[in-house]
Chain A
Amino acid sequence: MSRSSICTRFAVWTALVLTFAAAAPAQSLHLPAHEKVVLKNGLTVLLLEKRGVPIVSFVALVKSGATADPVGQEGLASITAGLLRKGTKSRTAQQFAADLDFIGGEFSADAGEDYTKVSAEFLAKDLGRGLDLFSDALLHPVFPQEEADKLLRQSLDGIKAAKDEAQSVLTAYYDGYLFGAHPYARPAGGDEVSLERIRREAIARFYETHYAPGNTILTVAGDFSAAEMRKRLEESLGGWAAKAVPAAALPAAAPAKGRRLLLVDKPDSTQTFFAIGNVGIARTDPDRTAIRLINAIFGGRFTSLLNEELRVESGLTYGAVSYFDSRKAPGPFLMFSYTQNATTAPAMDKALEVLRKLHKDGVTKEQLDSARTYIKGQFPPTIETSMQLANLIATNEFHGLTDSEVNELEARLDAVTPETARQVIAKHFPLENLVFVLIGKAAEIRPAVEKYAAQRDARAIAEPGFWPPPAGGATAPK
């Protein structure tokens, strides 16, 4: 965390950085060759050999995530994932930790909105022991009551800890306030009320229902021979029994109409953290490359229009960004920044002015060329490691995207002109219809921000949940 004594020139947000992870190449960039096999039980396996560094990376995507949480039990997919390593048929949680740490292995499991991701990394010399641990967690978790209780309590406290740092919960409030009745509104990590409701039985049931080979994509990348790896995977995962997983429909959320504003009161704030936006795009949107390019110009790099206006020219903030969090269904688009209490409205005014200018002026060929070169030049280091590659080909497979996402990116970027950009801006960047979420010291900033929307809502950050307030929220927490 930021306990370090290190100060960087700019720090925006790890989460934001991740949403940019798949960008574009410099000179005819290609994804390294990889192969796809579907095992008899339906497990999709993608193998990518990458020699040179003696590490093997595993990524399993179980195609059920937080949107599969039962209403009122938000966080169930995430808790289920977190418990995979906390006791299996052959290991206690403590034994798993000891075996994993002894070989310096890494293991993580969590659920996002669309899928659950289980990933691990081991030295090539420890591949046998590593794969044994990975498959043990994926196939044989037993969800001990004591461990479930422990993790649920930790997660509950984790939400309180996160609420002590405004920046880390802003998107939870924003998603809730933006998406309303759509499943993307519900917090993937749960809240203070929903976590209290989750029982061991529900966890075991979630696992039984959703963790199935036919519902899973497994990617392995790194220092191994593909032929040998196929054999190893057949042995360790081929016996995973096939079963049908109920299909879940995920409709596209309708963009918000008009304007509304949620003010979350954090009384000790010296700064206001704000998000402004609307519903954005799905990962497979046909305009995704043009949007990535235009967003780089608008709020996706240091010299972006937003950062120029709010940081470089005016010194109002340490950073201002915008991004499209593209998901299976359209995810959020938002502009994000922070500024001291007294300059909250001036900073937000500037953000809105930059957005209006984007619509009014469009972007020039020169701006497009600069952003094209930037995206291409910054791309190669995003597919440098076996873990980066494993993640990229796994998520491409999940979304039904092909290697052309990388291999044709250059051409797709080059095809964007000021004219096509104008259409894309009009279609995808909001202008009048906007949702505002602010976390800050309400007593100081409320009068200045009331002008942004006729519909206004308010919460205290210590109140359980995000938005909408959970049912029974007044009584459930201890």
Chain B
Amino acid sequence: MKKSMVSRALLFVVAVAALSGAARAQEFPVATRTLKNGMKVLVQPDHSIPNVSLYIFYRIGSRNERPGTTGLSHFFEHMMFNGAKKYGPGELDKVMEANGGSNNAYTTRDVTVYQDWFPRSALGLIFDIEADRIRDLSFDPEKIKSERGVVASERRTSVDANNFGVLDEQLWATAFLAHPYQWPVVGWMSDIEHWTMEDLKQHFAMGYSPSNATMVVTGDVTPEEIFGLCEKTIEPIPAHAPPPAVTTAEPEQPGERRVVVHKYAQLPVLMIGYHVPQTSSADYYALTVLRTVLASGESSRLYQRLVDKDQLALDVSMMQEPAFDATLAVIVAQPKQGAEPAAVEKAVYEELERTKSGLISDQELEKAKNIQLVRFYQQMRTINGRANTIGTYEVFFGDYKKLFDAAKNFAAVTKEDVQRAARTYFGANNRTVATLVPEAEEKAKP
């Protein structure tokens, strides 16, 4: 059924995982082919259930937008379900569900991803549907109008009605001055209300060339039949120019930035974001180990300090999503009733300082690698998880085969690497601090 934003986010975060020496994942065969129009297709057969997962990753997201049309990638994602030449408005979902399939899609700052989950018997139909909408999407003004309302409702739910959503938006808008990671994926409300048919058509023309996409198919299929279907349905669709490169680089942050949100609430929220390099950077693995030591599990340093020992926070976590460009590693903590966000902040800095002044223990290093190993298996044990993981490696690491190098790359991380990563990225000048301060209702409104 329908995936929530929660589970979608988790899937993505754990997609990036490791193998370590002793327990090695089964090597699974992945067949690949690049179609004449430039779309790369990866197939991983697995006949354990009679089902198929199909993902199409388009390398276009909110980083390819501009002020005035923020949120357009995400809106466009919705429009991809609202009718093409053969399958008109509403028909795509009806036909897919009547044949046992379901679908969803998600948009991030970097990519727009379409997902189909279906029984093997619907294979031909799914390719027909996908080709139809990539080739001949229609733009029905009535549909644009109603879908605008849907997205506005989505924004009210994920931002207005969610204190973490509100604060996260302010954090990124403050941490980035130049780079397009500064605006929210869902878009600012005024942009949601104002983008035009012309904007949508331009977006389609810019981002939806087959050469800008990667398809991953896992499950009860053979590579030959998938390549055969691609030749018939997808390959004839012509390629065109990919989106212009995003050349803006966020300049180095010269000093701490702070932002405060006053909002009706019972509990405060604290977020601290540090600029870190893109996913394909060599420091990715050391940073992942550092995040694991700091915030993964109840034995992690931040949990032990903030939640267990000092009892300042209800919960603490740390996240870094896959990104093409330099991004943020974000620490999120919810201070307890009566705890000052400033006290939580101070304790976080003290813990970060410890990872800079000293080395983590051998035990912590091994623990972090073990945790990554288990996450890897959990992600790879379903056809859906495997499609997402293969695609994530292909798109964000540049090659799905890096999946098989993850073991080696994590094994190579030393305690000194972790310390160096902490010293390089977790300094005061490099951070942005966002605090949600609860207010009584009468003060909350402007």
- List residues of A whose CB falls within 8 A of some B CB: 1-14, 16-17, 20, 26-27, 52-55, 93-94, 97-98, 100-106, 121, 123, 125, 150, 153-154, 156-158, 160-161, 163-167, 267-271, 273, 300-303, 308, 311-319, 321, 338-340, 369-370, 373-374, 376-378, 380-381, 384-385, 462, 478
Check: B255 CB closer than 8 A to any chain A CB.
Answer: no
Cβ distance A38 to chain B, nearest Cβ, rounded Å: 30
Check: B68 CB closer than 8 A to any chain A CB.
Answer: no
A55 to B121, CA, bound (A): 30
Determine the chain A residues whose CB is within 8 A of the CB of B106 once the complex forms: 6-9
Are B152 and A340 neighbours in the complex by a CB distance under 8 Å? yes
Of the listed stretches B154-162, B242-250, B274-282, chain A binds B154-162
Between-chain CB contacts (< 8 Å), 10 pairs: A2-B158, A7-B106, A8-B107, A9-B103, A55-B374, A55-B377, A154-B314, A160-B337, A268-B265, A374-B98
Contact with A along B204-215 (1 / 0, CB 8 A): 000000000000
Are A100 and B49 neighbours in the complex by a CB distance under 8 Å? no
Determine the chain A residues whose CB is within 8 A of the CB of B380 once the complex forms: 53
A6 to B184, CA, bound (A): 9
Determine the chain A residues whose CB is within 8 A of the CB of B3 once the complex forms: 8, 10-11, 17
Of residues A98, A105, A269, A316, which shows the largest number of chain B Cβ atoms within 10 Å of its Cβ? Answer: A98
Of the listed stretches B29-37, B73-81, B132-140, chain A binds B73-81
Are B5 and A384 neighbours in the complex by a CB distance under 8 Å? no
Determine the chain A residues whose CB is within 8 A of the CB of B319 once the complex forms: 3-4
Of residues B9, B74, B102, B374, which shows the largest number of chain A Cβ atoms within 10 Å of its Cβ? Answer: B374
Are A1 and B374 neighbours in the complex by a CB distance under 8 Å? no
A292 to B438, CA, bound (A): 42
Are A462 and B266 neighbours in the complex by a CB distance under 8 Å? yes
- Within 279-329 of B, Cβ neighbours of A (below 8 Å) are at 296-300, 304, 307-308, 311, 314, 319, 321
- Among candidates B50, B99, B117, residue contacting A373 with C-beta atoms closer than 8 Å: B99
Are A9 and B94 neighbours in the complex by a CB distance under 8 Å? no
A271 to B154, CA, bound (A): 10
Are B336 and A104 neighbours in the complex by a CB distance under 8 Å? no
Q: Given the interface contacts A17-B4, A271-B161, A378-B100, does A315 sit within 8 Å of B297 by beta carbon?
A: no
A395 to B101, CA, bound (A): 26
Q: Which residue of B lies closest to A366 (CB)?
A: B98
Check: B367 CB closer than 8 A to any chain A CB.
Answer: yes
Are B336 and A157 neighbours in the complex by a CB distance under 8 Å? yes
5 nearest A-B pairs in the assembled complex, by CB-CB distance: A377-B100, A315-B149, A315-B146, A104-B374, A4-B9
Q: Which residue of A lies closest to B114 (CB)?
A: A9
Are B93 and A1 neighbours in the complex by a CB distance under 8 Å? no
Determine the chain B residues whose CB is within 8 A of the CB of A103 once the complex forms: 370, 374
A125 to B106, CA, bound (A): 36
Of residues B168, B271, B314, which shows the largest number of chain A Cβ atoms within 10 Å of its Cβ? Answer: B314
Check: B332 CB closer than 8 A to any chain A CB.
Answer: yes
Cβ distance A340 to chain B, nearest Cβ, rounded Å: 6
Determine the chain B residues whose CB is within 8 A of the CB of A312 once the complex forms: 90, 146
Q: Which residue of A lies closest to B169 (CB)?
A: A5
Cβ distance A258 to chain B, nearest Cβ, rounded Å: 31
Contact with A along B1-26 (1 / 0, CB 8 A): 11111111100100000000011001
Determine the chain B residues whose CB is within 8 A of the CB of A161 once the complex forms: 266-267, 314, 334
Determine the chain A residues whose CB is within 8 A of the CB of B428 once the complex forms: none
Check: B104 CB closer than 8 A to any chain A CB.
Answer: yes
Cβ distance B181 to chain A, nearest Cβ, rounded Å: 8
Are B314 and A11 neighbours in the complex by a CB distance under 8 Å? no
Q: Which residue of B lies closest to A370 (CB)?
A: B98
Contact with A along B321-362 (1 / 0, CB 8 A): 100000000101010110000000000000000000000000
- Among candidates A164, A315, A376, residue contacting B145 with C-beta atoms closer than 8 Å: A315
Of residues B77, B156, B321, which shows the largest number of chain A Cβ atoms within 10 Å of its Cβ? Answer: B156
Q: Which residue of B lies closest to A4 (CB)?
A: B9
Cβ distance B146 to chain A, nearest Cβ, rounded Å: 3
Determine the chain B residues whose CB is within 8 A of the CB of A270 once the complex forms: 156, 160-161
A12 to B7, CA, bound (A): 11
Check: B259 CB closer than 8 A to any chain A CB.
Answer: no
Check: B118 CB closer than 8 A to any chain A CB.
Answer: yes
- Among candidates B48, B93, B330, residue contacting A303 with C-beta atoms closer than 8 Å: B93
Determine the chain A residues whose CB is within 8 A of the CB of B332 once the complex forms: 3
Check: B119 CB closer than 8 A to any chain A CB.
Answer: yes
Are B164 and A94 neighbours in the complex by a CB distance under 8 Å? no
Of the listed stretches B381-389, B402-410, B418-426, chain A binds B381-389
Check: B378 CB closer than 8 A to any chain A CB.
Answer: yes
Are A166 and B161 neighbours in the complex by a CB distance under 8 Å? yes
- Among candidates A6, A106, A125, A317, residue contacting B23 with C-beta atoms closer than 8 Å: A125
A378 to B104, CA, bound (A): 13
Are A153 and B266 neighbours in the complex by a CB distance under 8 Å? no
Are B373 and A104 neighbours in the complex by a CB distance under 8 Å? yes
A295 to B184, CA, bound (A): 35
Q: Given the interface contacts A102-B366, A380-B49, does A97 sit within 8 Å of B299 by beta carbon?
A: yes
Are B266 and A160 neighbours in the complex by a CB distance under 8 Å? yes
Cβ distance A250 to chain B, nearest Cβ, rounded Å: 28
Are A302 and B2 neighbours in the complex by a CB distance under 8 Å? yes
Are B367 and A101 neighbours in the complex by a CB distance under 8 Å? yes
Are A11 and B4 neighbours in the complex by a CB distance under 8 Å? yes
Are A318 and B97 neighbours in the complex by a CB distance under 8 Å? no
Determine the chain B residues whose CB is within 8 A of the CB of A10 once the complex forms: 2-3, 104
